Amino acid sequence: MLLLTFEGIDGSGKSTQARRLNQHLQAEGHETLLVREPGGTELSERVRSVLLDSSLNVQPFAELLLFSAARAQLVAERIRPALDDGRIVICDRFFDSTTAYQGAGRGVAEPEWLRAFHRRVTDALVPDRTYLVEVDAETARDRRAQTRDEGDRMEAAGPEFYERVIAAYAELAEDEPDRFCRLDGRRSIEALHETVRADVTQLLNERRGTGFSGTGSSNL
Ligand code: ADP
Ligand code: TYD
């Protein structure tokens, strides 16, 4: 019924917000599905372990295809059915991650090409709202250090990589201001949650007002 995605660099705090929103919506009586990318299905979780394995040498284009394969499976197996079932789907990362990390970070493909590619991968599914949690690379690194022993294969990328990813996210948000909601990730967890919650409440009210029950699908 509604597809909400969270984006940001590793350690920005987006998973915390995705979980917090899910708890809130469930407490309000909504049927939800919370999934993370890459992951959420058996196949996608297996692809995830390949992608994050530091002992593997993964070529940039192969990386793009693997993230996308995990996504295609997740959309077909879980996201589409949940949306058709009237659920609110919360996705911790979606195709904007690929545009930012593989497109800009790795420099593997142009945004135009990626837009058409994502459309095929997701069967033209586009989030109704994308929350972009923005923090600088240093803050994110400090936050990662609090919770993780050692970085995975993706986190081995240097600071310039993260600068490119941050800039790409900002550009995506500028290009699609109606879909993106930009959040200053330096604010507290609760303050950020309040902002997200208010926005989702408004989205749900708009849906009720128009009686619209489908999800965005054709404005990639
Ligand atoms: P991500 O999913 O973006 O990698 P997480 O949600 O896992 O990030 O958060 C990484 C760490 O930062 C966790 O220890 C979390 O508790 C902490 N954190 C999350 N949001 C904030 C915030 N707004 N302020 C301070 N610390 C935060
Ligand atoms: P994860 O542990 O889920 O990181 P985080 O909690 O920060 O989301 O690992 C996912 C990693 O994969 C993260 O470094 C971002 C990266 N990624 C891509 O490079 N492209 C993608 O399309 C997706 C979904 C993730």
CATH number for position 107:
3.40.50.300
Atom of ligand 2 nearest to the CA of 15: 6
Question: Does 52 map to a domain?
Answer: yes
Q: Is residue 79 part of a domain?
A: yes
Mean local confidence (pLDDT), 125-130: 98
For ligand 2, atom 16: residue with the closest CA? 154
Starting from the CA of residue 121, give the closest ligand. Answer: 2
118 lines ligand 2 (CB under 6 A): no
CA torsion through residues 168, 41, 181, 9, sign: negative
Number of structural domains (the chain) is 1
Report whether pLDDT(180) > 80. Answer: yes
Residue 168 in contact with residue 99, Cβ under 8 Å?
A: yes
pLDDT higher than 60, residue 212: no
In-domain check, residue 218? no
- pLDDT tens by residue, 186-195: 999 999 999 9
* Residue 215 maps to a domain: no
Q: How many CA atoms lie within 13 A of 87 on its CB side?
A: 17
Find the ligand nearest to 134 CA: 1
185, pLDDT greater than 50: yes
**Mean pLDDT across the chain, nearest whole number?**
94
- Nearest ligand 1 atom to the CA of 12 is 3
Inter-residue long-range contacts of 112-115, CB under 8 Å, 24+ positions, other chains counted: 115/220
Residue 216 has pLDDT above 50, yes or no: no
Q: How far apart (Å, rounded) are the C-alpha atoms in residues 35 and 129?
A: 15
- Domain range for residue 82? 2-210
Residue 158 CA to ligand 2 center (angstroms) comes to 15
